[in-house]
Amino acid sequence: MLAVVPPPVIVRAPAKVNVHLAVGDVRKDGYHDLLTVFQALSLNDEVTVAVADEPGIEVVGDSAEMVPADFSNLAWKAVEALAEYVGRDPKDPKVRVHIRKGIPVAGGMAGGSADAAATLVGLASLWKLEIGKDELADVAAALGADVPFCLHGGTALGSGRGDRLVPVLARHQFHWVLALDHEGLSTPSVFKELDRLRAEGEPPRVGAVEPVVEALATGDPRQLALLLGNDLQAAAVSLRPALRRTLRAGVDAGALAGIVSGSGPTCAFLCQDGESAVRVAAELSGVGVCRTVRVAQGPVHGARVMSVEEAP
C-alpha cells in the first residue's frame, strides 16, 4: 500500500518590536539580563515545511541573499531540535524548509527567531505531534531568547534573557511605521558597544516598566509614545550615527515617537492611527533616510498555520 504524504504546511510568523527594553549590566558570563515588553507586528515571514527525501532549506524574498540557506539557518536548527525532542533522526528528518523573508534581516526584529518559531509550529502540524504549547516553548527557548515570543505573539513582558514571558493586555491596535536600513547590525556587536559606552560614562537608561504596561492597557498611543524606551538605542546609534537622522525624520513626518527596534538598525515609529501611519510612511520614504518603509499594526498572533484561504 502507498503511504500517504501529508501536504506541505505554511506558517506565518510575526516580527517584533520592543516597546520597552531595559538591559542590565554585563554579567560575568558575558550575558545581560533583560526586562522587555515585546509587541508582535504584522510584518511576517512565511515558512513552508514539507516532507522530502532530500533534506534542505531555501530562502527567498527581502534580502534573502543575506540569510544562510544551509543547515546553519536557525530554522534548520529548529528542525533538528524538534526531531531530537520527539525521537526522530535529527540528521535525516525527511523535511524541506522554504522561507519567504518579509522581516528585515539582522534588523533587530527577530527575523531568524520568527523562522525558527514558524518551523516548530509547522513541523508539529506536519508530523501530527501531540505536543503542548509549554513543551514547544521549551524547545523554542533552547534555540534563542526571542523564539518563545515569536511563538507566543501578542504583547508580552519578557525577563531573564527575554524568554520568560507573561502576557500583557494591549487594548486596541497600535499603528507603526518601520524604516528599514540598507545594512543590518550584528546583535552581539550592539551589546558590546553598550558595555563600552557604560564603561566610559552613563548612557541614558529606560525608566520603570509599569507605566508602559499601563499605557498599553489604556490603548492610548499618545501615552505609550511618551514611554517608548530602549537601552540599546544609544549603542546602535553610536555604531550607525545616521540613525539619528532617521529617528528625527520620522517624528518630523508626523509620528508620535520613534525608537530603534531591539538592536537595530530598523527604526519603529508609533503613529496616532492607521491613516497617520500611511502619511508618515509616504513622507518618510521621500526623505531618503532609509532603504524602504513598511506600515504595520500590533499586536498580532504568534506563529500560526495559515488556513487554505490565507495561503498564497
Residues near ligand ATP (CB under 6 A) are 67-68, 73-75, 99, 105-113, 115, 146, 184, 187, 262-263
Q: Least distance in Å: CB of 91 to ligand ATP?
A: 19
16 part of the active site: yes
Give 75 or 280: the residue with its C-beta nearer to ligand ATP: 75
112 is in an annotated binding site: yes
In the chain, alpha helices (H) = 74-85, 111-126, 133-143, 147-152, 187-200, 210-218, 221-225, 233-239, 243-252, 274-287
Q: Which of 115, 146, 163 has its CA nearest to residue 12?
A: 115
Which of 146/163 has CB closer to ligand ATP?
A: 146
Residue nearest to ligand ATP (CB): 112
**Residue 7 Cβ vs ligand ATP, minimum distance, rounded to whole Å:** 23
Q: Which of 45, 62, 115, 146 is catalytic?
A: 146
User: What is the closest distance, in whole angstroms, from the C-beta atom of residue 74 to ligand ATP in the complex?
Assistant: 4
| Nearer to ligand ATP (CB atom), residue 105 or residue 256 | 105
Nearest CA to 203 out of 243, 159, 237 is that of: 237
Residue 79 CA: distances (Å) to CA of 54, 76, 85, 127, 136 = 14, 5, 10, 11, 12
Specify whether 146 is catalytic: yes
114 marked as binding residue = yes
Report the alpha-carbon distance of residue 274 to residue 285 in Å, rounded. 17
The answer to whether 110 is annotated as binding is yes
Buried b (16+ CB within 10 A) or exposed e, 182-201: eebbebeebbebbeeebeee
Rounded least distance, CB 36 to ligand ATP, Å: 11
105 is in an annotated binding site: yes
Annotated catalytic sites, by residue? 16, 146
Q: Binding site for ATP: what residues are annotated?
A: 104-114
